Structure 1
Amino acid sequence: MRPKRLLLALMLAGALAPGTWLRDPELPRNFHRAVAIEPLDQDFQRSGPFALVAAWELTGDRVQFGGLSALVALDGMRFLAGSDTGRKLVFERPDRSSAPGELSRLGENETSYKLGRDLESLAIDPVSSTVWGGFEFRESIVRFDADLKPDEEVRPAAMRYWGANSGAESLARLADGRFLVIEERPQRWREPGHRALLFAGDPIEERAPEELRIAIPASYRPVDATPVEGGKALVLLRRVSWGIPPVFESAIAEVDVDRHAADGTIAAALLTEFGPAIPQDNYEGIALTRDADGTHVWLISDDNFMSIQRTLLLKLRWDQREKARE
């Protein structure tokens, strides 16, 4: 085993392990960076109801760019991605534009440090363009206005004991206005599944969420979610096969918050396990767009600031006529 490869694997394990992530120093107040988005020459394959139709690699400043852990569609033309070092990336859809993305601080003011740095999930109200972010370590949800300026923050009591580095990993504003938050770390032994909260409305205003558990199949962990319709959401799943180098495996499941057992457990319905049908990397962000030529699911990967990983963006066509696995 080569020492360099072993060192890279240990660094990656440290990045994913609770409590070991090292934070960069604070950035200059007017920090902005361009991010290049280049198409990939890829074999386009099908996996269950999803067909890969396009792929891109995103590159930027080697120190500041990376760690993208969340994705939402701002409108029909733009995406917002958030990083676990407190930055945001706004970029136009690369299937419709060749413009570079812009990387900047999330909350460009002197008090932005109060929000914490480790953003892991994003949700959006498509009507008002209000955005919410889930932060690990602080175990909080922060609301941002349409200009992505921080508004208010809440730390739900039910999230107090969620894992420090596996907290609000998935956050979605459902189509009916409710909010779903899922913890990445699974409960064990007498508490199977992943803890989740269901808010009747804006989590900043609604302080009494319903406590649920999401049963995730095949040892996957939930890493992001995006709304579909009603009380349904697609949940992006990930598991890691530790080796030299580690291999990331991705899947997508569907969750219906209105179909749960008496004990509050919801069984996630597996839609597909991608395997080699997509470029394998650490996908942590998912978004959905409804376009004239069909419904598309977008995935973005977190490179953990590691040279052995990339920041990839995938566009997948979703055939909703195909049912989930029983």
Structure 2
Amino acid sequence: MTGLRSGFYAVATALFALAAMNAQAEDGPVTIAAEPLALSESDAKVERIGRLAYRGGLVLSSGEERVGGVSGLRWLGGDRFLAITDQGDWLRLDTEEADDRLTGIAAARIGILTDDRGAPLLVKPLADAEALSIQRTDGKPVAANVYFERSHRAWRYALDEDGGIGAFMRELPLGDWVEALPENGGIEAVAGTERGTFLIPEDLRRDGRVLAHRQWRGRDGKLRTSEIPFELPTDFKPTDAHALPDGGILLLSRRYSPLQGVAARLDLLEFQASPSGPGRLKRTPLTMLKAPLTVDNMEALAIRVSGERTFLYLMSDDNFSPAQRTLLMKFELMPAKRAAQARPSTKPPEAKPGPGETISPDD
């Protein structure tokens, strides 16, 4: 731990001890209102964009001022989801669903992320959580991996029986490459696959290409990291990612431009191994959300698998601004026509580890 980070911890602990106790007392159930949301602001009948079928959406609001700033989202199981915010809070959401459509929020809990001494993260340089993945044992979620920017790091937390984030467990190794990350441009997207964990920063490029990093453990147990650049339009920045059942990666990116407005895009990434190099990420555009379709500052992505069906949940970061909204949108990823015709009812082939690799997915 650097001296600067240690200094931040000392200041946070000394100046905010009383506030922390008061804040912890407020942790627990929170009321969230949900209003229905159409996919298109100009035509309520629009329910399909490319391979995505709209399965309902909500505009969320709450009298609790800490609800907002969502930067990461994951499905825990059933109708339960876990989110993190860039102010150092976690938010557990239980959705209401009817006929596979998102219709409301049944219950919610909120809590504060803590450090290795149990002190709440109350200052922005320490609390800026931007990415989330879930560690599972026998299919059950047992831990949450939270990735922070400004003070670039990854911490693992225990999950309680209700899906809330509990005590700090340990720091996860990332490597020296994070030292090159801009203060406000850290790891935003994380996807744990059978080929390793893919870490994608918001604002780290070379020759116009995003510099993703793949981490995996060799047969000797040592952690290895390789840099894998891939193409992404320069006006878009990665905000979240998630592994798909077929071994691919779904990448969420967003754009904000005073001239072009707000937009979000989804791309499919496919890792292709190479015996003589780090491999490559092949990117295939999937779809884009932009006006007149409903869109905001989309920063969070969760994938929910039900049998042969795959559902996507997108959530926006309102930046705690009255000019923005917290949106939760549900889509179903429909099979590609060629894949549907060739294998309408079979499972996709499992990804296999390459030479010298072990399988250790994060979520």
Q: Does 1:241 align with 2:257?
A: yes
Residue aligning to 1:194? 210
Q: Aligned to 1:296, which of 304, 311, 331? A: 311
Q: Aligned to 2:121, which of 113, 121, 126? A: 113
Residue aligning to 1:9? none
Q: Equivalent residues in 2 for 1:143-154 (5 A)?
A: 143-147=156-160, 148=165, 149-154=167-172
Q: Does 1:132 align with 2:140?
A: no
Alpha-carbon distance change, 297 to 323 in structure 1, aligned in 2, over 3 angstroms: farther
Give deviations 1:264-320, integer Å, cap 9, x for gaps. Answer: 552421111122364120110001112258321100000000001110100011112
| Unpaired stretches in structure 1, ≥5 consecutive residues | 1-22
SS at match of 1:209: strand
1-structure distance, mates of 2:288, 2:105: 31
Q: Does 1:29 align with 2:39?
A: no
1-structure distance, mates of 2:225, 2:78: 31
Q: Aligned to 1:171, which of 190, 214, 217? A: 190
Give deviations 1:49-82, integer Å, cap 9, x for gaps. Answer: 1121200122123532210010000112210010
Q: Does 1:104 align with 2:104?
A: no
Q: Aligned to 1:185, which of 193, 199, 203? A: 203
Alpha-carbon distance change, 172 to 263 in structure 1, aligned in 2, over 3 angstroms: closer
SS at match of 1:234: strand
Alpha-carbon distance change, 230 to 319 in structure 1, aligned in 2, over 3 angstroms: closer
Question: Does the aligned pair in 2 maintain the 1:300–1:312 contact within 8 Å?
Answer: yes
Q: Aligned to 2:232, which of 198, 216, 220? A: 216
| Unpaired stretches in structure 2, ≥5 consecutive residues | 1-11, 39-43, 99-103, 340-363
- Percent identical pairs in the alignment equals 23
Q: Does 1:162 align with 2:181?
A: yes
Q: Please give the root-mean-square deviation of Cα atoms over the aligned residues, in Å.
A: 3.0
Residue aligning to 2:349? none
Q: Does 1:226 align with 2:213?
A: no
Question: Does the aligned pair in 1 maintain the 2:129–2:146 contact within 8 Å?
Answer: yes
Q: Aligned to 1:91, which of 68, 90, 93? A: 93
- Paired amino acid for 1:102: R
Residue aligning to 2:36? 40
Question: Does the aligned pair in 2 maintain the 1:271–1:323 contact within 8 Å?
Answer: no
1-structure distance, mates of 2:307, 2:169: 34
- Paired amino acid for 2:177: A
Question: Does the aligned pair in 2 maintain the 1:37–1:56 contact within 8 Å?
Answer: no
Residue aligning to 2:360? none
1-structure distance, mates of 2:31, 2:337: 36
Question: Does the aligned pair in 2 maintain the 1:285–1:301 contact within 8 Å?
Answer: yes
Q: Who wins on radius of gyration, i.e. which is larger?
A: 2
2-structure distance, mates of 1:323, 1:314: 27
Q: Does 1:255 align with 2:274?
A: no
TM superposition shift of 1:156: 2.4
Residue aligning to 1:79? 81
State the TM-score, normalizing by the size of structure 1: 0.80
